Amino acid sequence: MQRRVFPTPIHRRVVYALVFEALAIVFTTLILAALGNSTGASALIGVVSSVVALIWNMVFNTLFERWEKRSGSTGRPLKVRVVHTFLFESGLVVVLVPLVALILQVSLWEALLYEAGLILFFLVYNAGYAWCFDRVFGLPDSAR
C-alpha cells in the first residue's frame, strides 16, 4: 500500500499548488527578463500569473480528480498526464494573454507570443513537477 502523506485531498492540493506557483514566479521572472523585459514587470507578470494559475489549479484539479475517480482511471499514465497538462495550460491562455499585454504594454499578438513561449516551458514543467510530486508524496487517493 502506498504511503499517505497528507491527511486530506485538499491539503495535498494546497501544498502541490503553493510549491508549484512559488517556483513558477521565479521561472516566469527569469524567462521574461531574459527576453529583455524589465525585472519589475517580469516579476509582476510572474505574481499575477501565479495568482490566476493558483485559483485555476484548485478548481481544475478538483474537477479533474472527480472525473478521474468516476472514470476508474488509475495510476495516471502518460496520456492522462498529457491531457491534464494541456487542458490546464489552455485554460490559462484566455486570462493571461490580455494581462501580459497590459502589464508589458505590448500588442495582444506579442503577448500571445510571450505566453506561447511560457506555455511551452510550463507544459514540460507541469508534467515534470507532477511526476516528481507524485514520486515524493505518492499518488492521490483518486489515482490509486
Return the domain boundaries, the chain.
Answer: 9-143
Given a cut of 60, whether residue 1 has pLDDT beyond it is: no
Backbone angles phi, psi at 139, to 5 degrees: -75, 150
Can you give the pLDDT at residue 3?
63
Nearest CA-CA partner of 55 in 14, 9, 102: 14
Q: What is the mean pLDDT of residues 57-72?
A: 87
Given a cut of 70, whether residue 20 has pLDDT beyond it is: yes
Most confident by average pLDDT, 45-59, 63-77, 102-116: 102-116
Task: Quick: pLDDT tens for 76-125.
Answer: 788 888 888 888 888 889 889 999 999 999 999 999 999 999 988 988 99
